[in-house]
Amino acid sequence: MSLVQAPAVGISSLPLLSLLERGPQEYHQALELQRLIHGEVANGLRPSTLLLMEHQPVFTAGKRTELTDRPFSSTPVVDVDRGGKITWHGPGQLVGYPILRLRNPQELVGYVREIEQGIIDLLADFGVRGGRVDGRSGVWIEGERKIAAIGIRVAQGVTMHGFAINANCSLSPFEEIVPCGIRDATVTSISKELSRDVSVMDLLPLIEAKVVPILEGLT
């Protein structure tokens, strides 16, 4: 079965297309799937959809990435058309791509804040207190450890790219870069904060309970 044929799951009105059970996905193939779904949503052929997956190890470089930001690494670096700088994706990190026809596509800051709130609510169910930092996107622990990153693009009124939540991923790849261009902070994971293993599959029910309802309200 191809990626695009994976069944949508969930009880909400927002289809949730999860590839988590298939293991980490190669980034270029997943990006093509994201673009395909984006085109279908933009042309009215598919409802807004949340795509979930893990990636094989990869660095993705947003539009503001500078040459000096790039790592000296054997891990692939892929240039992408989202905002922001460079970050890492890989096993143990839940990546969500909300491909949504927004009611108000000009309200991008509000869109990011809503995603942040959904992730903050998700973390709270694990007993992890997440929050925001003024002037910086994503979700933070005590204002200094980033636990979830967000980078988006809107084309034809439909969103692409999305969020990445560190569940039990290795944090060492982040040492090869300045994550999201922020030099005075570190990166953490749910597992590190709790000193116990929390997998991406452990997050799935809370994505449906905490994040999906917020996304539904934006479409």
Task: Report the CATH number at residue 135.
Answer: 3.30.930.10
Assess if residue 29 is contained within a domain: yes
Assess if residue 21 is contained within a domain: yes
Query: For residue range 125-162, what is the model confidence (pLDDT) as tens digits?
Result: 999 999 999 888 899 999 999 999 999 999 999 999 99
Assess if residue 3 is contained within a domain: no
Assess if residue 149 is contained within a domain: yes
Q: Which helix (H) or strand (E) holds 5?
A: none
Query: For residue range 183-194, what is the model confidence (pLDDT) as tens digits?
Result: 667 899 999 999
pTM of the model: 0.91
Number of domains in the chain: 1
Q: Report residue 179 as tokens.
A: 């994550």
Residue 114 belongs to what domain range? 13-216
Quick one: residue 142, left, alpha or beta (phi over 0 = left, psi -120 to 50 = alpha)?
left
Neighbouring CB atoms inside 10 A of 52's CB total: 22
Assess if residue 65 is contained within a domain: yes
Cα dihedral across residues 127, 58, 171, 67: positive or negative: negative
Q: Which helix (H) or strand (E) holds 34?
A: helix 27-42
Assess if residue 75 is contained within a domain: yes
Assess if residue 1 is contained within a domain: no
Assess if residue 166 is contained within a domain: yes
Which whole-number Å values give the CA distances from 139 to 56, 62, 83, 126, 176, in the listed order? 23, 18, 16, 15, 21
Q: Which residues are catalytic?
A: 180
Grouped pLDDT means (10 residues each) for the chain, 219 residues: 48 85 96 97 97 97 83 88 88 98 88 96 98 91 94 94 97 81 78 98 97 94
CA 60/CA 29 separation, integer angstroms: 14
